[in-house]
Chains A and B, each alone.
Chain A
Amino acid sequence: MSKAKSPLRRLNETQSAYLLLLPFLLTYGLFLIYPFFRGVWISLHDWNLLQVAFNPDAKQFVGFENYVRVMWGRNIEWSPWARPVLQTLGLLGIAAAVTLNRTRRLTGATAIALGLAGVALFLIAGVYAGEEGRWFDRRFWPTVGNTVLFVGLTVPGVTISALLIAAALNRETRAMGLLRTLFFLSQVLSVTVVTLIWQIMFSPRQGLIANITELSGGSPITWLTDERFAMAAIVIATIWWSLGIAMILFLAGLQDISKDLFEAGALDNCTGIRAFWYITLPNLKRTITLVIILQIILHFQVFGQSHLMTQGGPNDETQVLVRYIYQTAFRDSELGRASAMAVFLFVIMGAFSIVQFLVGREEKD
């Protein structure tokens, strides 16, 4: 430490701190905070990508019109029985939240989250285009619906399989370590490699799955172009891809469960599946909640699987929100509308991030 004359030496604590913070704050401000507000600003304009590129004054302030054009329609009505199944499900969610909280099987925050989800489902599913009414953008809500369906299939799929595998692999031996490596390996691949592999796996002519079905005498399924199977196909590929991280998080959670509990349980003849149900699951509640929220955030932003495997098809069955944003912006050049959708995405992701933050904090104490 010989640089006695270096001007850096004479900096006091505050100056040093700001000097050290400067590089990050600059990039952060310039490439995250500013773009975020600029995105909101763009969403308030009629903004054609190509026209504005040639003439910066070609944009026009339109207020919230983009939001209306994306999310609303003519003669939109609400009724408590517009979609009976979904709305009943919402009411059941509210009822479950109240009863489970009363009987103290759910803590405050979780019960509130479940209750709010129920209320939201009940209210949102009740909205429909009335007589002679129509949505201004017919594709937006179905796209959101597809995204929710994708999340709704992928998250339980990953969570349950990762949980079972993690519980089985929860021992520090070489063989178990090797098995973990095998399950985790697909996680480090890029989305384009994953979609490449699974496109060909699912191919009706060359695919491994088709080869197997033909061996057993069946006729191959055209997975990626059949409306009934396309969503299932990208869900399967995604589960294969992203099981690893959930498994690792569960293994970390399992390490925190005291071995004494299992030994005590074994004395009461509580082993194997019973031990998993009565000891592992209750003690892993916090981890499970966090993994679920983490995955909802992650998979709601799905893009590559839909873009590369099915191109959103067939018949928009696998069109997802981020792909719709991408297309609206870069194929239709409608930056204003695309930005309005991006803000919508941010609001949903932000809500889940806050829940994640609260759950993470609440149960640490």
Chain B
Amino acid sequence: MLSRSYYWLVLALSIPAFLWLVPTIWMVSLSFQPNEVLARTTSSTFLGLVPIPFTAENYAALFAFGQTPMWFLNSIVVALGMTLGVLAVSTTAGYALARLDFPFKTPIAVLCLIGLMVPEQAVFIPLYTMFSDFGWHNSYHALILPRMAVPIGVFLMLQFFKAIPRDIEEAARLEGVSWIQIFWHIMLPLARPAMMTLAILTFLYAWNDYLWPLVSAQQRDYFTITLGLASIQSNFAQSEGLGRVMASGVIASLPVVILFLIFQRYVVQAMTAGGSKG
């Protein structure tokens, strides 16, 4: 089936694919080299792409002192909290808009659609002043709540619920099952794949978000790992040692990379869905 030209194509494409991976390999490799060596040269073995001389010291130091473990935990709390929150508000609203009939349905749907046009960067200043007024900065809910308001999840769920055949629902209605029960007992279990996609999209966003945490979390205790990494990279070589900063980078990437490798199909779906809808 597969012709000779196919194998040539794979071979030819492996070169750019490898080059694409080189920066990542380099980060991982530097994180496993001693800081004293890195201060002298970053190209010990094969331009530094192979970690020889090898050490795990940087990772040990990272967990022994410094704030990286705490930032990591903050990121976990914020990302999970945001994911649960987005799932809760998006499934309920998506179901109502897809399946129920009620007054002002169209205006509400249009209002939500308009919200897709508002970029985070256009509202971060007023959000900052609001959260200041509430005294909410430097807290987990300050990092979580703004993203729950973004309507992209509602539209993902709406489209999914719309595609489910109506028979199941109508049979249940004839039995006298309430709408809320239908939603909870019938629709939510059916929606698991869509919820998975939305959860991954949200988790990735939460883990990687930079601008809002930068504005809202001024105390280092409430930094997410993404923000914390930004705060140590400006003076990386002098204070912490290149190897340790790179180790922080690896730690900061590990959850999303693992998530990606395990749930690749969902990640791709999530990004396609998130991407093509804004």
Contacts and interface: CB of A to CB of B under 8 A. Distances in A.
Interface of A: 1, 3, 6, 8-11, 13-14, 16-21, 23-25, 27-28, 30-36, 38-39, 42, 49, 52-53, 165, 168-169, 171, 173, 175-176, 179, 181-193, 195-201, 206-208, 211-212, 215, 240, 243-245, 248-249, 252, 290, 294, 297, 301, 303-304, 308, 322, 325-326, 329-330, 335, 338-339, 342-343, 345-346, 349-350, 353-354, 356, 360
Contact of A1 (B18, B47, B181, B261): B181
Nearest to B85: A27
B150 A32 contact: yes
Given A208-B26, A339-B125, A191 B226 contact: yes
B278 A294 contact: yes
A292 to B, nearest CB: 12
A173 B6 CA distance: 10
Interface string B162-191: 000000000000000111110101000000
Contacts of B130: 34-35, 38
Contacts of B246: 196, 200
B211 A303 contact: yes
A269 B218 CA distance: 64
A18 B47 contact: no
Given A8-B181, A17-B96, A208-B48, A27 B149 contact: yes
A308 B249 CA distance: 14
A212 B130 CA distance: 50
Given A1-B185, A303-B121, A188 B267 contact: yes
B126 A14 contact: no
Given A21-B108, A304-B210, A339 B126 contact: yes
B66 interface: no
Interface in B39-83: 42-43, 47-48
B217 interface: no
A184 B99 CA distance: 36
Contact of B211 (A1, A34, A240, A326): A326
Contacts of B23: 186, 197-198, 201, 208, 240
Contact of A192 (B9, B115, B128, B210): B210
Given A20-B95, A207-B42, 4 more contacts: A17-B96, A36-B122, A192-B230, A206-B38
Given A32-B123, A35-B127, A196 B229 contact: yes
A189 B276 contact: no
B125 A338 contact: yes
10 contacts: A1-B181, A13-B101, A20-B95, A23-B92, A38-B129, A190-B253, A193-B249, A196-B233, A343-B122, A353-B116
B90 A345 contact: no
A21 B109 CA distance: 11
Chain A: interface secondary structure? helix
A245 B267 CA distance: 10
B156 interface: no
Given A23-B92, A349-B122, A335 B181 contact: no
Given A8-B178, A192-B230, A240 B122 contact: no
Given A188-B267, A192-B233, A13 B100 contact: yes
A196 B229 CA distance: 8
A175 B10 contact: yes
B143 interface: no
Contacts of B210: 190-192, 303-304
- Most-contacted residue by chain B among A9, A192, A198, A342 (CB, 10 A): A192
Given A13-B179, A188-B267, A297-B278, A346 B20 contact: no
Interface string B90-121: 10110111001111010010011001111111
A212 B117 CA distance: 44
- Most-contacted residue by chain A among B14, B43, B122, B237 (CB, 10 A): B122
Interface in B1-34: 2, 6, 9-10, 13-14, 16-18, 20-24, 26-27, 30
Contact of B126 (A25, A35, A182, A252): A35
B96 A186 contact: no
Nearest to A169: B13
Contacts of B96: 16-18, 20-21
Nearest to B154: A24
B72 to A, nearest CB: 13
